[in-house]
Amino acid sequence: MISEDVIQEKAELTKINGFEFISENIKTCIFTLGSKFTYKGKPNDDLSIFISIKKRRYYFVISLNEMIHRRFRLVLIGLAKLIALLMVLLLLGSSFIGLVIYILK
């Protein structure tokens, strides 16, 4: 708790009284919370009932075209990395062969 007068000993979910989907994006939950605390030296043991309303704020809907575009882009990036690696290997290989020919002459 925020106040120095209150010392929280225990807080636990005692019972879920109800749970309901109002729409695809909004849901409610009614629950009972049991708590033990001391207020200014006086012990308290309370049951409180809460109503929680949750609303989804962000929608992550990806169309089929976006999924194909993302996968195609990943494939292109993978191919570009592979081509770059092959070019480096070719450069190193040709340098190594050139060094071997130079040493053998």
* Residue 5: predicted pLDDT: 85
Over residues 77-103, the mean pLDDT reads: 81
Residue 103 parent element (H or E):
helix 64-104
Express each pLDDT in 6-51 by its tens digit. 888 888 988 999 988 888 778 889 999 898 988 888 998 988 888 8
Given a cut of 60, whether residue 60 has pLDDT beyond it is no
Cβ count near 32 (within 10 Å): 14
Task: Name the pLDDT band for 2 (thresholds 50, 70, 90).
Answer: low
Summarize pLDDT for 16-27 with one digit per residue, the tens.
Answer: 999 888 887 788
Question: pLDDT-based confidence at 64, cuts 50/70/90?
Answer: low
Q: Are 40 and 25 in contact (CB under 8 A)?
A: no
Region 78-105 average pLDDT? 81
* CATH class held by domain 6-55: alpha beta
Cα distance between residue 37 and residue 2, in whole Å: 13
User: What digits encode the pLDDT tens for the residues 85-94?
Assistant: 888 888 877 7
Single-letter amino acid, residue 73: R
Query: Phi and psi for 38 in degrees, rounded to 5?
Result: -120, 125
Contact (CB, 8 A) for 15 and 32: yes
User: What are the backbone dihedrals phi and psi of residue 88, each rounded to the nearest 5 degrees, phi first?
Assistant: -65, -45
**What residues does each domain of the chain span?**
6-55, 62-105
